[in-house]
A = this chain, B = another copy of it.
Amino acid sequence: MTPSPAPNRERVLRAATSAFLARGYRSSVDEIARRAGVAKQTVYHHFPSKDLLFKDVARELARRILIELEESPSDLRAGLVAFGEAYRSRALGAAGIATFRTLVPEIPRFKALARSMYEASAGEMVRRLAAVLEREMRAGGLRRDDPKFAAELLLGMLVGHDRIKRLFGVAPARTPGRTEAIVDCFLRAFAK
Bound-state CA distance A140–B24 (Å) is 49
Bound-state CA distance A61–B161 (Å) is 19
Residue of B nearest to A22 (CB): B108
Which residues of A come within 8 Å of B, CB atoms?
A: 24, 100-102, 104-105, 107-108, 111, 114-115, 117-118, 122-123, 126, 149, 152-153, 155-162, 164-165, 167-170, 181-182, 185-186, 188-191
Shortest beta-carbon distance from A93 to chain B in Å: 16
Bound-state CA distance A9–B23 (Å) is 31
Residue of B nearest to A155 (CB): B161
23 A-B residue pairs with Cβ-Cβ distance under 8 Å, sorted by A, are A24-B105, A101-B104, A101-B107, A102-B105, A107-B169, A108-B169, A114-B168, A115-B168, A115-B169, A118-B170, A122-B165, A122-B168, A149-B181, A152-B160, A152-B162, A153-B161, A156-B159, A160-B160, A185-B189, A185-B190, A188-B188, A188-B189, A188-B190
Bound-state CA distance A117–B170 (Å) is 10
The residue that A122 contacts in the complex, of B24, B118, B161, with Cβ under 8 A, is B161
